Amino acid sequence: MVKLDASGNIQWQNTIGGSFLDYLNCMQQTSDGGFILAGSSQSAISGDKTEDSQGGSDYWVVKLDAFGNIQWQNSIGGNSDDYLTSIQQTIDGGYILGGYSNSGISGDKTENYQGLYDYWVVKLDATGNIQWQNTIGGNSWDELISIQ
Domain definitions of the chain by residue range:
2-136
Task: Give the total residue count for the chain.
Answer: 148
**Average pLDDT taken over every residue of the chain:** 94
- Provide mean pLDDT across the span 85-95: 97
CA 81, distance to chain mean position in Å, is 13
- Provide mean pLDDT across the span 27-36: 96
The model carries a pTM of 0.93
The DSSP letter of residue 32 is T
Nearest of 101, 97, 96, 105 to residue 83 by alpha carbon? 101
**Over the stretch 33-78, which tens digit does the pLDDT of each residue have?**
999 999 999 999 999 999 998 889 999 999 999 999 999 999 999 9
